[in-house]
């Protein structure tokens, strides 16, 4: 009953019980062996039922089966030595396995099947974990070719697995990483010096649509079947970066006007002073307090007052250069850093532009109003070299302007001090 041209060893199973079933199941897809028959007087025996489903001949008589299937190797799983003697006379004593040997092989077959089932179970579990992981999992070989691309990675990058498997991982990278990646990989394999492997870092990835986005990347290497692989765990951190930027903005910018707040203003003053000292430039610190703001707030309400402050911020930004800073100090008070000013006249011209812009009418919820501004200025290094002193001097000059008629600019003078 051996298949013509079949190079695998034909096997006859004598005994259709549990042991026979295990043998048939194990050898079903085996390349080196194939079952050519199952013998059992009970046609409903487990191995017989499976054999019929697999189109394997089933025999009720052992002698007929042996003659029909020879040459073959027979496994006697009946514990009946007479069956082994019968088989030895038909197919030869070296071709029959029974008794203790059959039991041992049956145990080995059973354990092998259990190990195979456990391996398959673990493989299915691993595949399920990879498929349901929230983070992208990408497996590449030593040449950078993608081997695995899980659903989370598909969603993240916009590619299907079929579209990327077999292609180089660099397709998911913008320049310059795209061109440099294969070189990084080769250097690591040659030197074992890691730039990415074993290190979690933030990198920029490229979506299918060409857009880029920030990701966290953790890479580990492994060897399987003598081949080197790299597993990348990728997480889209766009939302996290957006939240971090918002936190930073709230920490350094005024929520109403979008201008720098006090904290950021002080940082800019320190930086500007350091640069002015290094390059021998002058800089000016200005304080501005709105004239007439309280009347607008009291008359038209706080909503109109907020609208007014927003418009004031827009006008103040128009009055200075991009290299300068304007900050809202709180309420209706604003502060400025003017970098690399040439003279007091230069500062006075900028302050005059501020006041002129502020004095133009505003329309708030259909109501027109006007305000002004009082400005005080101190100049480094003419008035002082210390940040706190310059800020105090500009604030003092601003109050002098306010007490001296409002809507104009005053420069700091020692006589403005109360002592």
Average pLDDT per 10 consecutive residues for the chain, totaling 419 residues? 60 89 81 88 92 93 92 88 90 84 69 72 66 81 90 92 93 90 80 71 92 91 84 89 85 92 94 94 96 91 93 95 93 95 94 95 92 95 93 95 91 87
Q: Are residues 373 and 291 in the same domain?
A: yes
- The predicted model scores a pTM of 0.55
Q: Are residues 111 and 160 in the same domain?
A: no
Q: Are residues 222 and 287 in the same domain?
A: no
Residue 292 forms part of a structural domain: yes
Rounded to 5, what percent of the chain is helix, strand, coil? 45, 25, 25
Residue 242 forms part of a structural domain: no
Rounded to 5 degrees, φ, ψ at 228 are -90, 135
10: left (phi over 0), alpha (psi -120 to 50) or beta: beta
Q: Are residues 269 and 194 in the same domain?
A: no
Q: Are residues 57 and 120 in the same domain?
A: yes
- CA–CA distance, 158 with 145 (Å, rounded to integer): 18
Q: Cα 156 to chain center, whole Å?
A: 8
Q: Are residues 30 and 140 in the same domain?
A: no
Q: Are residues 163 and 227 in the same domain?
A: yes
- For 150-276, where are the E strands, in sequence order? 201-206, 212-224, 227-236
- CA–CA distance, 271 with 104 (Å, rounded to integer): 84
Count the neighbouring beta carbons within 10 Å of the beta carbon of residue 24: 23
- CA–CA distance, 250 with 152 (Å, rounded to integer): 32
- CA–CA distance, 390 with 284 (Å, rounded to integer): 9
Decide which of 59, 89, 124 is a domain's last residue.
124
- CA–CA distance, 203 with 190 (Å, rounded to integer): 23
Tokens representing 10 are 């034909």
- CA–CA distance, 390 with 349 (Å, rounded to integer): 20
Position 193 scores a pLDDT of 67
CATH number at residue 23: 3.40.50.720
Rounded to 5 degrees, φ, ψ at 418 are -75, -5
Rounded to 5 degrees, φ, ψ at 257 are -100, -20
Decide which of 101, 124, 147 is a domain's last residue.
124
Query: How many domains does the structure of the chain reveal?
Result: 3
Q: Cα 372 to chain center, whole Å?
A: 51
Q: Are residues 110 and 141 in the same domain?
A: no
Residue 137 forms part of a structural domain: yes
Q: Are residues 103 and 158 in the same domain?
A: no
Position 119 scores a pLDDT of 74
Q: Cα 324 to chain center, whole Å?
A: 37
Are 156 and 239 in contact, with CB atoms under 8 Å apart?
Answer: no
Structural domain including 191 reads 133-237
For residue 342, count CB atoms less than 10 angstroms from its CB and return exposed for 0-12, middle for 13-18, buried for 19 or more: exposed
3-state secondary structure of 373: strand
Rounded to 5 degrees, φ, ψ at 36 are -105, -5
Are 367 and 373 in contact, with CB atoms under 8 Å apart?
Answer: no
Position 109 scores a pLDDT of 65
Q: Are residues 174 and 198 in the same domain?
A: yes
Alpha helices in 8-137 (DSSP H): 18-27, 46-53, 62-69, 81-91, 99-132
Residue 246 forms part of a structural domain: no
Decide which of 237, 268, 291 is a domain's last residue.
237
Residue 378 forms part of a structural domain: yes
Rounded to 5 degrees, φ, ψ at 110 are -60, -45
Q: Are residues 272 and 368 in the same domain?
A: yes
Position 174 scores a pLDDT of 92
Q: Are residues 257 and 402 in the same domain?
A: yes
Position 5 scores a pLDDT of 44
Count the neighbouring beta carbons within 10 Å of the beta carbon of residue 369: 16
- Of 283, 286, 263, 262, the C-alpha closest to 272 is 283
- CA–CA distance, 357 with 55 (Å, rounded to integer): 96
The residue with tokens 């498997």 is 165
């Amino acid at each position: 009953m051996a298949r013509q041209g079949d190079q695998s060893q034909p096997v006859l199973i004598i005994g259709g019980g549990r042991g026979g079933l295990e043998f048939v199941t194990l050898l079903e897809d085996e390349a080196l062996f194939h079952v050519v028959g199952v013998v059992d007087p009970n046609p409903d025996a487990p191995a017989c039922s499976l054999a019929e489903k697999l189109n394997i001949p089933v025999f009720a008589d052992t002698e007929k089966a042996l003659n029909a299937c020879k040459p073959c190797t027979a496994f006697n799983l009946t514990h009946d030595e007479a069956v082994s003697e019968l088989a030895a006379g038909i197919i030869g004593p070296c071709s029959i396995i029974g008794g203790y040997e059959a039991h041992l092989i049956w145990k080995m077959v059973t354990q092998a099947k259990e190990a195979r089932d456990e391996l398959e179970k673990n493989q299915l579990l691993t595949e399920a974990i990879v498929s349901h992981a929230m983070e992208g999992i990408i497996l590449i070989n030593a040449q950078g070719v993608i081997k695995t691309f899980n659903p989370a990675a598909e969603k993240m990058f916009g590619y299907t697995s079929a579209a990327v498997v077999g292609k180089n991982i660099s397709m998911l990278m913008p320049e310059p990483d795209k061109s440099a990646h294969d070189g990084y990989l080769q250097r690591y394999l040659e030197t074992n010096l890691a730039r990415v492997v074993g290190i979690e870092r933030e990198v920029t990835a490229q979506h299918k649509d060409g857009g880029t986005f920030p990701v966290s990347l953790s890479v580990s290497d492994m060897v399987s079947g003598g081949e080197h692989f790299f597993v990348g765990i990728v997480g889209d951190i766009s939302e996290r970066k957006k939240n971090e930027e918002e936190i930073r903005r709230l920490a350094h910018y005024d929520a109403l006007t979008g201008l720098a707040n006090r904290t950021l203003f002080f940082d800019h003053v320190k930086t500007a002073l350091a640069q002015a000292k290094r390059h021998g430039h002058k800089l000016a610190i200005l304080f501005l307090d709105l004239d007439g703001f309280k009347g607008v707030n009291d008359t038209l309400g706080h909503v109109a007052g907020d609208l007014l402050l927003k418009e004031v911020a827009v006008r103040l930004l128009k009055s200075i250069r991009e290299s300068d800073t304007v900050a809202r100090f709180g309420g209706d008070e604003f502060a400025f850093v003017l970098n690399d000013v040439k003279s007091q006249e230069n500062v006075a011209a900028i302050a005059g532009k501020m006041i002129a812009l502020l004095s133009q009418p505003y329309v708030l919820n259909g109501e027109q109003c006007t305000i002004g501004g009082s400005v005080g200025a101190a100049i480094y290094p003419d008035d002082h070299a210390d940040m706190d002193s310059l800020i105090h001097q500009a604030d003092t000059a601003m109050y002098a302007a306010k007490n001296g008629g409002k809507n104009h600019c005053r420069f700091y003078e020692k006589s403005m001090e109360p002592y």
